[in-house]
Structures are given as structure tokens and as C-alpha cells.
């Protein structure tokens, strides 16, 4: 009997049917079970670069007494020559002089800082020596080491934060200045730009370490701590910032750092410690992504969660 006269037989070749089935599986199976993936970048932070650059160029800055300028010059010289023993006393002296001159008046301090900022930017533009340019280079803020996404606004925010660290009253008493107090002395848009730089940077840039440097657990934890601080700041300034996703991503990056360290270590106990650090970080990441899935399920976060679980069991 011919196929034409047999209603129970299909005119579609078996090879086509198999092909259609495979295509449907390729399309729909990933929807049911997302492919595992690990986040590699923190969510970006929005900021107004033009507003920061305009502010840096506005006004002439506030003149300072000669003794303040002299103390600042001596401090910069010690920083430029990396005189580690001399930086501390000179920093305390400069901070004390600045407090005597401007106190805690944020506007007065900004006016003074603006004049020093212009000197820094002029030296950067004209490629003239400036001690803080050496520090900026270690943080990948100068070409050719700087990343393509780096903006002048980020550099301005970095300088202002660095200057406030040098001029903080806590430094005059020998104490480490509190980060939240330093940030309050920066304009809000600069805080956003600083957070944008931190979340986009690699650990070596954040810590000012040589490219490709070997990190210890203390370095890895230090980098993660800075990132946690600034994603929290990003959320405080903009509640639409995906804080839990950022926190989960930080833990994934920390875990990957511990895994890389474990592969490089030869001591069994140290290697075991690094692997334990990676597992702990993956556990924290899983907690953040689990909470996100309970609040607002998405295929992307499911992939991250699957990736974390797969990595934690390797």
C-alpha cells in the first residue's frame, strides 16, 4: 500500500521530526533549567561627570596661610620620596594646621581643597611631577595603565578623598580617619563617582598594588571590605541600586580570589585555609542570591545561584 493511501503514516521524514525536537529542547530546556553562570562585574553606579568637572573648575579656591602650604608641601615631598617614617608626623602636622585654619567647616575645607586639586590636575594635564600622581598611578588612574572607562570626574573624586584623608583631624591624633566621616566632606556627586570607580576596579587598582601582584588572604579580604563599604554607599544614595546582587557578586569575586590563591600555595594548611575562605564566600553569595530569588525571581539571578552552587561543590 502506498504512503499516499495510508492515513496512519506521516509524510514528514523522521530526520525532520528529530531535528524539530532537538530545536525545541535547545530553546525550552534552558528556560526550565538555567545554565549556571558566575557574576564577573559589580552593577555600575550612576553619577554626573559634567557636574563634578564644572565644580572643580568653578571659583579660585581659598588662599591658605603660608604655614599650611609649607606643611602640605613637606608632606607631599615625603609621600613622593616614600619616606614612610616621615609621612606620619608630617601628616599629623598638616592635619592640625588645617583644623586650626578651617576647623570642621565643610565649605571652608572644600575651598582650600579645590586650590590643591587644581594644582594636581594641572600637573596631570601638563605631565609635570607631582607626588600624588605617583600614588594615582599605583591606583591605575593615569594613562597608559588606566582603564578605558576611567573619567576625569573619578580622578577628581579620588583626589578629594585622598586629600581629606591627609587633612583629617583624626590623623592629627594618630588615629585612622573613619571612612563615613571622610565621605561626608565630599559633595554627593563625588561620592557617587568614587563609588563608581571602586565597583568598576580590580583589587590591585583599589589597593594600589602592582598589576598581577600575589595577594594574601588579608589583601583579598581588604579589597572585599572596601567594595562592601562602597556598594552600601551606592545604595544609600540611590535605593534603586541592586544592593543584594552587588553583595553577592563581591562574595563571588572574593571566592574566586581565594581559589586562585589556593592553586598557587604549596603549604597544605595554607591551601586548606584558602579553600575554606572560598567556601565561606560562596555560602554568603548563595544567601544573597537566594534572598533575591525570593523577592524578585529572574532568570539571570537563577543562573548566578546555579553557578554559585556548582562552584561551591567543585
**pLDDT tens-digit series, residues 201-229:** 999 999 999 887 889 999 999 999 999 99
pLDDT at 88: 87
| Domain locations in the chain as residue ranges | 37-201, 208-314
Q: Where are the alpha helices (DSSP H) in the chain?
A: 14-32, 49-57, 66-80, 84-102, 106-126, 131-138, 152-167, 169-172, 179-184, 188-200, 203-207, 217-237, 243-264, 268-295, 299-312
C-alpha cell at position 243: 544592593
Residues 6 or more apart whose Cβ sits within 8 Å of residue 240: none
pLDDT at 214: 85
Q: How far apart are CA 155 and CA 194, in angstroms?
A: 8
pLDDT at 105: 87
pLDDT surpasses 80 at 52: yes
- Tell me which of 250 and 214 has the higher pLDDT: 250
pLDDT surpasses 80 at 41: yes
Q: How far apart are CA 269 and CA 313, in angstroms?
A: 20
pLDDT surpasses 80 at 3: no
SS3 of 21-45: the string is: HHHHHHHHHHHHCCCCCCCCCCCCC
Residue given cell 594641572 in the structure block: 122
Q: How far apart are CA 92 and CA 107, in angstroms?
A: 21
**pLDDT tens-digit series, residues 137-166:** 999 999 999 999 999 999 999 999 999 999
- What average pLDDT does the chain have? 87
The mean pLDDT of 117-130, rounded to a whole number, is 92
**pLDDT tens-digit series, residues 255-291:** 999 999 999 999 999 999 999 999 999 999 999 999 9
Nearest to 113 by CA among 41, 64, 149: 64
Burial class (CB in 10 A: 0-12, 13-18, 19+), 195: buried
Q: How far apart are CA 253 and CA 231, in angstroms?
A: 14
pLDDT at 66: 92
Amino acid at each position: 500500500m502506498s504512503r499516499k493511501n495510508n492515513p496512519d503514516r506521516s509524510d514528514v521524514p523522521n530526520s525532520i521530526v528529530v531535528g524539530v525536537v532537538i530545536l525545541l529542547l535547545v530553546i525550552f530546556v534552558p528556560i526550565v533549567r538555567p545554565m549556571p553562570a558566575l557574576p564577573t562585574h559589580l552593577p555600575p553606579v550612576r553619577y554626573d561627570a559634567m557636574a563634578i568637572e564644572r565644580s572643580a573648575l568653578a571659583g579660585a579656591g581659598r588662599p591658605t596661610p603660608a604655614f599650611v602650604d609649607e606643611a602640605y608641601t613637606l608632606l607631599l615631598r615625603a609621600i613622593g620620596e616614600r619616606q614612610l617614617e616621615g609621612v606620619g608626623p608630617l601628616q599629623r602636622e598638616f592635619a592640625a594646621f588645617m583644623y586650626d585654619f578651617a576647623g570642621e567647616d565643610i565649605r571652608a575645607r572644600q575651598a582650600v581643597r579645590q586650590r590643591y586639586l587644581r594644582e594636581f590636575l594641572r600637573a596631570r594635564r601638563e605631565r609635570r611631577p607631582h607626588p600624588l600622581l605617583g600614588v594615582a598611578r599605583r591606583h591605575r588612574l593615569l594613562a597608559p595603565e588606566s582603564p578605558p572607562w576611567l573619567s576625569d570626574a573619578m580622578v577628581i573624586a579620588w583626589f578629594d578623598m585622598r586629600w581629606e584623608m591627609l587633612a583629617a583631624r583624626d590623623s592629627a591624633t594618630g588615629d585612622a580617619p573613619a571612612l563615613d566621616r571622610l565621605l561626608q566632606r565630599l559633595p554627593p556627586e563625588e561620592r557617587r563617582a568614587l563609588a563608581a570607580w571602586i565597583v568598576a576596579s580590580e583589587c590591585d587598582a583599589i589597593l594600589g598594588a602592582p598589576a598581577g601582584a600575589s595577594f594574601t588572604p588579608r589583601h583579598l579580604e581588604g579589597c572585599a571590605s572596601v567594595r562592601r563599604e562602597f556598594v552600601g554607599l551606592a545604595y544609600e544614595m540611590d535605593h534603586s541600586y541592586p544592593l543584594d546582587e552587588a553583595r553577592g557578586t563581591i562574595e563571588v569575586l572574593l571566592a574566586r580570589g581565594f581559589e586562585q590563591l589556593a592553586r598557587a600555595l604549596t603549604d597544605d594548611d595554607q591551601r586548606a585555609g584558602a579553600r575554606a575562605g572560598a567556601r565561606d564566600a560562596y555560602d554568603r553569595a548563595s544567601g544573597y542570591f537566594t534572598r533575591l530569588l525570593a523577592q524578585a525571581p529572574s532568570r539571570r539571578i537563577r543562573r548566578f545561584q546555579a553557578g554559585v552552587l556548582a562552584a561551591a561543590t567543585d
